[in-house]
Structure 1
Amino acid sequence: MRYIEGINRKSKIAFPEYIDDYISEDNPVRIIDAFVASLDMIALGFKNAVPKDKGRPSYDPKDLLKLYIYGYMNRITSSRTLEKATQTNIEVMWLLRRLTPDFKSISDFRKDNKEAINLVFKQFVALCKEWDLFGKEVVAVDGSKFRASNSKKNNFNTKSLNRKIKYLEEKTEKYMAEIEENDDKESLDRKPNKEEIKEKIRELKERKEKYEAYKEEIENGKTTETSTTDPDSRLMAVNNNGVDVCYNVQTVVDGRHKLVVDCDVINNPTDHGMLSKMAKSAKEIFDVEELKTLADKGYYNAVDLKICEKENIITYVAKQVFPNSTGKEEFYLDKFKYDKEENVYICPKGERLYSRRQKPIDENTKEIVYRNFEACGKCEFKDKCTKDTKGRRIRRSIDQDCLDIVDERTSENKEFYRQRQMIVEHPFGTVKRGFGITYFLTRGLESVKAEASLAFLAYDMKRVINILGIREIIRRLTGKKAPVNPLFSKHAILFGNIKQLIA
């Protein structure tokens, strides 16, 4: 039996005459083309949006923006692979009308238009709102770690620097001892000579000076660590209890079609303070009076939740359970019950802990301490409850009443709260697994924000394609029915007949 055979490479074939004939009417690149064509590049602030009168002409920023959107939708994110795509990818050839910018021009476009790219994402979100694709009732907020363009070896904190400096000092002392040993006696075995050892000592001293400079920078600065390749990146905990140098990407996702409403990038490993910011942004975009917001326990912060309550943002957040110093679950903080009427905490063994505060509560008060050292001194479970020699202390936040309201609301609506994962994990899963974007190529917080905007613009665009369909989107973008190219069907039939004749 014969194999399926291809055509002879030297045989003549009648390919379609026009490049447009290769791109079907329901190809997603037509949406990218129509969307970018609808943008006002001058208003968005793109560099070279107005052509120069003199000098060498530049590329139209619309063409480079189309290239990037296509790339992020199709797992092509680096400037060099995008350059190659302009020469080999028929869809990119159609999209850019056979333009072939070099990788430097492509890279510089992303570098020079950070804020404008962020605004393009917001522009598409505004389109989604105009097309009534948002439910405007329920959103979910979450963060995910994306690796930065900085290795762990090029990230330093005080602890790691002290360890490295100590090692270099010990190594230097060892080499100094070897110099003295070589001066005292000669050995038959080949050892580094005096000049070689001095060179190694010089190198060690240079490294030590470099590490000491990093340490001084940390001690005099506002951060507890420094990254030498990407100074804005930070060491963060990632999956499977590992650590890596990352950025924390925040999103707020609408519950109706899982469209990303807004995104942000921070270099803080925790999510504290971001719930109110992201939820308020969604509320302003939707222009609604009330908004239900779902979030995980990483956002369980009294100050942040209090801001949400004031802004009429109804929050559903999992309660964060804090362990005691001994690690015994039966004496965790959540096992101590608060009696609001008597203003006391009741411990798991029935003893009351009282507030001993003498100063009046004012705007500077952060928490109130409850204790009962007399009862703790007699308790047989004291060693399981606390390591404090005097006894257990419970610190109640001044905003605990707000936390109690959120806790009660969340526990009473567990089925509703379970929607959180289905809503907010979908975009991150698609971007990381579907688009292959698990790390950032650019460096610096502002550049990384532009990358994140491109990634979630590509995600939202694919979601809208699945919801409305390509022809409907083009109709809405252009204001007319998507045309059917008669040449496409004619050439397709001709090409099919030629293939049959060759076979």
Structure 2
Amino acid sequence: MDYIEGTNRDQLLLFPESLDEYISDDNPVRFIDAFAESLDLKALGFKHAVLPETGRPPYHPSVMLKLYVYGYLNRIRSSRLLEKESHRNVEAIWLTGKLMPDHKTIPNFRRDNREAIREVCRAFTRFCRELDLFGGELVAIDGSKFKAVNNKGRNFTDRKLRRAMKDIEKKIDAYLDELDENDVIEPDEHKPTAEELKEKIQRLKERMKEYKGLKKEMEETGETQISLTDPDCRSMPLAGGPRTQVGYNVQVSVDEKHKLIVDHEVTNAVTDRDLLSHMAKRAKDLLGVDELEVLADMGYYHGKEVKACLEAGITPYIPKPQ
């Protein structure tokens, strides 16, 4: 008996193996490749779908799309990791034809083709419908909270701004009192100097000015929140307690037949209460049906939304709040 041995790395082959032999017939990357090749990238609006006459040759958008979808399916979100996979992962190498886009090219593709990628999602839904993968009778709708790149301290509501400005006023008054006390304290007592206190007061006044500007902006725009790092995100309550998170509310509708996603939308709605009819109508249109049944949790219960669904030929099933 002997150990199982591999192939000698230095062995020369008269007929070298093809890259295609490493990819099984039922490997999902073959579907990614076939689907991407079936798309009319020009009609979808992809940049460089029409080759420019001058300049440096770009990567074909289908190559970049395949790599992007591959990363999505395998939970590889980082552009640097995707670049690494294109060098070492035989599936990614097969998919791109041994092309290796760098970590700057990959995010540039996403940034330049945001709307086109959304259209690809819709095209995939239509593709699934043509293959009869959707039942088109029952859809479940739910939302998930995704954290944004925005610290809680850089998200403001009207109440939070008023509280912050009130705190600043108290601190300014306290520093002014300290300035008055400096005139009567003993020389050996350790207290902030007048210059130090004036600097602190000036910084607080500048912060107060910033807060007033934010408050004015909220009044002019009618927004209930302002986020400084990621302007579109909002502070949202999390399930199971009083905790909140600054982020997005991602809505998803899933067909009952094969549990495939019919539609998704990233929103900054703080709750799900006003989103039922919107998501249900979108799902109904994408499925191309006249009537549709929809399941949702208690958070979607709103008489106005239920009525809008019924008027659109959609029957919602939602538990009524106690």
If the length of structure 1 is used for normalisation, what is the TM-score?
A: 0.58
Deviation of 1:134 after TM superposition, in Å, equals 1.3
The alignment partner of 2:250 has SS state of strand
Structure 2 partner of 1:158 = 158
Q: Where do residues 447-458 of structure 1 align in structure 2 (5 Å cutoff)?
A: none
Measure, in 1, the Cα distance between the counterparts of 2:193 and 2:148: 43
Instruction: Say if 1:291 and 1:210 are closer, same or farther in 2 by CA, change over 3 A.
Output: same
Instruction: Say if 1:229 and 1:13 are closer, same or farther in 2 by CA, change over 3 A.
Output: same
Measure, in 2, the Cα distance between the counterparts of 1:312 and 1:166: 51
The alignment partner of 1:240 has SS state of coil
- Deviation digits for residues 152-201 of structure 1 (CA, Å, limit 9, x no counterpart): 11100111112222222222333333344445445435544333333332
Structure 1 partner of 2:219 = 219
> Which structure is richer in relative contact order (CA contacts within 8 A, separation 6 or more)?
1
Structure 2 partner of 1:35 = 35
Measure, in 2, the Cα distance between the counterparts of 1:207 and 1:146: 30
Structure 2 partner of 1:76 = 76
Residue type of the partner of 1:217? E
The alignment partner of 2:92 has SS state of helix
Residue type of the partner of 2:174? K
Instruction: Say if 1:84 and 1:202 are closer, same or farther in 2 by CA, change over 3 A.
Output: farther
Q: Where do residues 6-25 of structure 1 align in structure 2 (5 Å cutoff)?
A: 12-14=9-11, 18-25=18-25
- Deviation digits for residues 202-231 of structure 1 (CA, Å, limit 9, x no counterpart): 222222211121111112221111011111
Measure, in 2, the Cα distance between the counterparts of 1:259 and 1:113: 24
Instruction: Say if 1:85 and 1:177 are closer, same or farther in 2 by CA, change over 3 A.
Output: farther
Matched, 1:175 2:175: yes
Measure, in 2, the Cα distance between the counterparts of 1:227 and 1:234: 7
Measure, in 1, the Cα distance between the counterparts of 2:151 and 2:226: 12
The alignment partner of 1:239 has SS state of coil
Deviation of 1:12 after TM superposition, in Å, equals 4.5
Larger radius of gyration: 1
Matched, 1:240 2:216: no
- Deviation digits for residues 282-340 of structure 1 (CA, Å, limit 9, x no counterpart): 3223333322222222222222222222222222221123xxxxxxxxxxxxxxxxxxx
Q: Where do residues 102-117 of structure 1 align in structure 2 (5 Å cutoff)?
A: 102-117=102-117
Structure 1 partner of 2:52 = 52
- Deviation digits for residues 399-426 of structure 1 (CA, Å, limit 9, x no counterpart): xxxxxxxxxxxxxxxxxxxxxxxxxxxx
- Unaligned runs of 5+ residues in structure 1 are 322-503
- Deviation digits for residues 328-366 of structure 1 (CA, Å, limit 9, x no counterpart): xxxxxxxxxxxxxxxxxxxxxxxxxxxxxxxxxxxxxxx
Measure, in 2, the Cα distance between the counterparts of 1:254 and 1:12: 49
The alignment partner of 2:240 has SS state of helix
Instruction: Say if 1:185 and 1:302 are closer, same or farther in 2 by CA, change over 3 A.
Output: closer
Instruction: Say if 1:168 and 1:84 are closer, same or farther in 2 by CA, change over 3 A.
Output: farther
Deviation of 1:121 after TM superposition, in Å, equals 0.8
Instruction: Say if 1:189 and 1:269 are closer, same or farther in 2 by CA, change over 3 A.
Output: same
Structure 1 partner of 2:87 = 87
Measure, in 1, the Cα distance between the counterparts of 2:190 and 2:201: 19
Measure, in 1, the Cα distance between the counterparts of 2:139 and 2:9: 58
Matched, 1:311 2:312: yes
- Unaligned runs of 5+ residues in structure 2 are none
Measure, in 1, the Cα distance between the counterparts of 2:181 and 2:101: 63
Mean CA deviation greater in 288-297 or 212-221: 288-297
If the length of structure 2 is used for normalisation, what is the TM-score?
A: 0.88
Structure 2 partner of 1:387 = none
Structure 1 partner of 2:262 = 261
Measure, in 2, the Cα distance between the counterparts of 1:172 and 1:19: 71
